[in-house]
Structure 1
Amino acid sequence: MNFATWPSLLVVDVEGNGLNPPDLVEIAALPVRDGRPDTSTAGWWQIRPRRPVTPFAARVHGLTNQTLAACPPWNDVAVQVRERLGTAWIAAHNAHVDYRALAAHLPGWQPAGVVDTLRLARTALPDLPKYTLDALIEHLQPDLSAVADQRHRARYDAYATSLVLIALAESYPTWDQLAAAAVPPGLPGSPEPEEDPTLW
């Protein structure tokens, strides 16, 4: 894979307050440049949600209502998040979840495309028993020694997903082939469906 041919791409991860639909409590946006994550220009935000974090969500990611009490509300960071995301491609594991959460909070925002490392892994590694992020980390053994935080936090998951994406990309000679395998149908960047031929 020639990483120089990649479009501008950010690996994103969002954490929510456990409700449906969720209030966002943490976002990471990590650029991938020249085949490696660029932490020097990454974006990271913690957000005080409108509604309390559920006990289950707090157990998963460790972000409690007390932890987030001094953080800014969404309206104070929304412009920064939108500017950081811009119109770049985004990538995430089980990407429709992160994409839909961000799109719901950023009306009118749309990335150039959405790469799903879950979908990509199923194509590139067809014989794995599971395709969770944990399973892919165990299988691919990326070097996570430099990552901030821990699993289920936005910075950790974005960094781990970026390394998974880079490793899986080696199975695809070109960006177009990777995108064809990785973009879920109906999300930005997916191929336009061919029109059915008619008699007129």
Structure 2
Amino acid sequence: MRQIVLDTETTGLDPLQGDRIIEVAAVELVNLLPTGATFHRLVHPERDIPAEATRVHGFTNADLEGKPRFAEIVQDLLAFLGDAPIIAHNAPFDFGFLDAELLRCGLPPLDRARMVDSLALAKQRYPGMPNSLDALCRRLGVDNSMRTAHNAILDCRLLAQVYLELMGGKQPGFELAATLAAGGAAVAAGEAVEWTPLPIPVPEESAAAHRAFLAAKVKDALWLKPPFAEGQG
């Protein structure tokens, strides 16, 4: 199960008013866990960055001098996204900006069926509570101490951890979990369950040293008396 966690930083809040993407980052998940594959680009917005936006993410016009335009990175971004579901916190915001940039490039918008809004998921799980990324990190025990400003790649990595917790805190598909679940269901139904013992071989030298240690340290030990001692060698 491949998914992509995505985040953008922008010059403002409304792409319809000419605000542009200045940073885009994505982290690949397989079975809810990061694979280590990432996409991260700074983008020249082809316009000035307002001071109030700089106070949020820290980027200035000078920081983006010489960076590629969105049209220059769009094919690499789309290749990384593939056809996987895209997870974002307040996803309509990021999708709106990406769609505006794709339109400028003469490309179709992203399929909304791919959109997974982690903010909506958090509101369902914690109704009436603060559900910003920082609030969720604190609530779910995700270390966000390095997050002193908005940063797309860092936010993606934090959101990947938050999303795992929102989805139950465990990776799906573990065979052991499935086996235990099946065994538990069989026991509950009164069926016999056959378990295969997996003994751990102990070298005789180690076993003898252990027996000697117990004999010296523990007097009159119950497990050395019948019936517990039966079969011990």
TM-score (norm 2): 0.64
1:140 matched to 2:134? The reply is: no
Alignment of 1:131-170 (within 5 A): 131-144=131-144, 150-170=148-168
Aligned residues: 164
1:82 matched to 2:83? The reply is: no
1:58 CA drift (Å) = 0.9
Q: Which amino acid aligns with 2:114?
A: G
Alignment of 1:167-178 (within 5 A): 167-170=165-168
Q: Which amino acid aligns with 1:55?
A: A
The CA deviation string for residues 13-59 of structure 1, in whole angstroms up to 9 with x for no partner, is 00111263221100001111233223x31100100111111111111
Tell me the residue number matched to 1:191.
Answer: none
Tell me the residue number matched to 1:23.
Answer: 20
The CA deviation string for residues 127-146 of structure 1, in whole angstroms up to 9 with x for no partner, is x521111111111121458x
Q: Which amino acid aligns with 1:56?
A: E
**1:11–1:31 contact (8 Å) kept in structure 2:** yes
Equivalent-residue separation in structure 1 for 2:48 and 2:99 (angstroms): 21
Q: Which amino acid aligns with 2:129?
A: P
| Structure 2, gaps ≥5 residues long | 173-233
1:114 matched to 2:115? The reply is: yes
Equivalent-residue separation in structure 2 for 1:155 and 1:94 (angstroms): 16
Equivalent-residue separation in structure 1 for 2:149 and 2:32 (angstroms): 22
Tell me the residue number matched to 2:183.
Answer: none
Tell me the residue number matched to 1:41.
Answer: 37
Among the aligned pairs, what percent are the same residue? 32
Q: Which amino acid aligns with 2:10?
A: G
1:109 CA drift (Å) = 4.1
1:87 CA drift (Å) = 1.7
Tell me the residue number matched to 2:124.
Answer: 123
| Structure 1, gaps ≥5 residues long | 1-6, 175-200
Report which structure shows greater RCO (CA 8 Å, sep ≥6): 1
Alignment of 1:91-110 (within 5 A): 91-106=87-102, 107-110=107-110
Q: Which shows bigger deviation, 92-101 or 105-114?
A: 105-114
TM-score (norm 1): 0.74
1:75 CA drift (Å) = 1.7
Q: Which amino acid aligns with 1:27?
A: V
- Structure with greater Cα Rg: 2
Secondary structure of the residue aligned to 1:29 is strand
Secondary structure of the residue aligned to 1:41 is strand
Equivalent-residue separation in structure 2 for 1:137 and 1:97 (angstroms): 20
- Relative to 1, partners in 2 of residues 1:131 and 1:49: Cα closer, same or farther, differing over 3 Å? same
Tell me the residue number matched to 1:3.
Answer: none
Q: Which amino acid aligns with 1:120?
A: L
Q: Which amino acid aligns with 2:94?
A: D
Q: Which has the higher helix share?
A: 2
1:13 matched to 2:18? The reply is: no
